[in-house]
Amino acid sequence: MNNTHLPVIDLRASDQEVKPALESAFTSIGFALISGHGIASQQVAEMRQLLKTYFERPEADKLMESITPDNYRGYIPLGFFSANSDNTLTDHYEGYKLHYEVSETDSIVAQCDLYGPNRWPQEPAHFKNTILNYWQECDRVSHRLLRLLAQIMGVNAQGFLSLFESPLTNMTLLHYPSMPAKPPEEAGYGIHPHKDTDALTLLFPDPVGGLWLRPRGQDEWLEVVAGEDILVVNIGDLLELWSGGYFVSTPHKVVNQSGQERYSFPFFTVPRHDVTVTPLIPPQKDFDRTAVPVGAVSREVWRTNWPDTQPSNQHFDLGTLTD
């Protein structure tokens, strides 16, 4: 397995300079490294420290904040969620799930049960403010990228961005303990090979490494190498479908055999629950995917994360690896 140096795109450049670079990256490998994003290095450092502080808390305290089937927010114990595949080993991480913050009294809660207020831990005391400040910055960056991607597709950018009002955007705080240096079929994965089921994912990778991707048409996995303060952005299945396969959603996985603790906090940009995703431009040759009703698919993705669940007969293929 080798390292891969993805293209670095500076968002401080003009739209006319950024768009061809984004188009090249997202139509070839589906991943890009982003500099000039405007998210302060101190804010990223605060997020990393927040994760370390939270996950170092006693297990009993964290379990009191556990995620439940009727509230997709809260603590995810180590090895709890299954990979939903023939692989019988659970993914080797513990996490904390957060969603777009919505008041209990907001009318959208009655429309889709994935909306609602987050579960905010009492400790550390600054947990909520740190998360919401970082969330706002990720929203800003993702909206600029979505606007540029709409322009690349030749669709109305304002109309496209309106699909992300009251979104199902979410974030997972992740702690990956180091694993033995054994093949995955023996030791398992930090997170199993998958494609993202969102539109765009934003991530500051942990310096210890461990994020791997597999370019389309290749068998070899490549480790993502990113410099300090570089944001990794990748296409999810929803944008692949919107673009009729022009943008590519690329399989990736996490394997932490660094001997160190690994922390990450991916931000998943997802449209509103009542959006149905179909190609906005003529599909690429041989691209044939069913429409995706965002709310229904998001609920199914969430439901099948739980142990001892099986996919429904709705044949949603979001995130499925076909080769």
CATH of 2-303, one of 2.60.120.330, 3.30.2270.10, 1.25.40.10, 3.30.470.20: 2.60.120.330
Cα separation, 289 vs 92, in Å, equals 31
Q: Which residues contact 83 (CB under 8 A, 6 or more apart)?
A: 89, 90, 91, 189, 192
The beta strand positions in 195-285, using DSSP E, are 200-203, 211-213, 222-224, 231-235, 252-254, 262-264, 267-269, 276-277
Q: Can you tell me which residue has the tokens 């009191």?
A: 64
Is-contact 210 200, C-beta < 8 A? Answer: no
pLDDT digits (tens, 9 = 90+) for 209-239: 989 999 988 889 999 999 889 999 999 999 9
Q: Is the full-model pTM beyond 0.85?
A: yes
> Quick one: pLDDT at residue 154?
98
> Quick one: pLDDT at residue 28?
94
pLDDT digits (tens, 9 = 90+) for 158-176: 999 999 999 999 999 999 9
Backbone φ and ψ for 287, nearest 5 degrees, come out as: -85, 120
Cα separation, 130 vs 135, in Å, equals 9
Could you count the other beta carbons within 10 Å of the beta carbon of residue 183? 9
> Quick one: pLDDT at residue 310?
63
323 residues of the chain, pLDDT tens digit each? 455 668 899 999 999 999 999 999 999 999 999 999 999 999 999 999 999 999 999 999 999 999 988 888 999 999 887 655 555 577 889 999 999 999 999 999 999 989 999 999 989 999 999 999 999 999 999 999 999 999 999 999 999 999 999 999 999 999 999 888 777 777 778 888 889 999 999 999 999 998 999 998 888 999 999 988 999 999 999 999 999 999 999 999 999 888 899 999 999 999 999 999 999 999 999 999 999 999 999 988 887 777 666 666 555 655 555 44
> Quick one: pLDDT at residue 300?
84
Question: What are the boundaries of each domain within the chain?
Answer: 2-303
